[in-house]
Amino acid sequence: MFGFLKKNAECSIYSPVNGICFPIEECGDQMFAQKILGDGVAFELKDDVIYAPCDGEVSVIADTKHAFGINSSNGTEILVHVGFETTGLMGKGFETYVSQGDTVKKGQKVLKVDINYIKSQNLNV
């Protein structure tokens, strides 16, 4: 009737990382494992670059650089979050290649992660 309960058209989402994918229910953070922020998947990183998983607009980059959101070209909202408890690093160990409001293409570099630094802080990536 009004259209606000309609699902968006299909959106192809690609892996944002080089790594091993596993069910989100198996990740160590209950906020994600219980899908409080929505459905998704988790990855064990094998590389230090995080890529745009689809074409769209960067809707947000966390001040702490550990997460970003993309509104895909069909309206699907995607959150990419790196690590557990990484907000406490206050951006150290993360480098951004884009800014909020930028248009990105699937596979474009968005973040660089210093995996060794994060692990040296006894945090999981």
Q: Which residues are catalytic?
A: 81
What is the CB neighbour count within 10 angstroms for residue 109? Answer: 14
* CB within 8 Å of 122: residues ≥ 6 apart: none
Backbone angles phi, psi at 118, to 5 degrees: -60, -45
Contact 46, 20 (CB under 8 A): yes
Backbone angles phi, psi at 10, to 5 degrees: -55, 145
DSSP 42: E
Quick check: helix, strand or coil at residue 31?
helix
